[in-house]
Structure 1
Amino acid sequence: MTAEEEQDSDGPADTGDVEPVDDLVTTAHTVTVDGQELAYTATAGRIVLREESFTDGTFDGHRPKAEVFVVAYTLAGRQATERPVTFA
């Protein structure tokens, strides 16, 4: 292997200035608690927080400011408004 080939295989290819995007995965599960089977979904991934961008007073769009890792467990058959939400 040449030095150039070795350098190319050291890590991921340079992708340039690719903006991050939300990346969420949801899976379905069941668990038995005290003899009762509960169906739920688990969602995990990254949410990109963005801020408004302006140049000379003209709106340029939204640019990435931060990335936040999130995890959510949701019991099937329940209203989303009836569950606690925790941010840590």
Structure 2
Amino acid sequence: MPIYYFEIADANPAIPCVGENLPSLAAARCFALKYAGLLIRDQGEVFWGGEEWVMTVSDVNHLTMFTIMICSTAAPATLNLKMLI
């Protein structure tokens, strides 16, 4: 099975690169979405700081297979909530 590497750029704190043996590119895409969801869940408050995360998925030869961009943006209606709390 091929190895795919899942690297998150610009996360603070840094998230280490993960390598996974997966049967296909389709399986790597599914894994990437699940992994991103887990990271968002676990990073919670940090994620809502507004920084963009970029997940780059590459193969064993370090060729980029695909990229996922993940970001959060507060709506104008919620910006005033910070002042009330």
TM-score greater than 0.5 by the shorter chain: no
Query: Which structure's relative contact order is higher, taking Cα pairs within 8 Å and 6+ residues apart?
Result: 2
TM-score with structure 2 setting the length: 0.24
The structure whose residues are more often strand, as a share, is 1
- Structure number with larger C-alpha Rg: 1
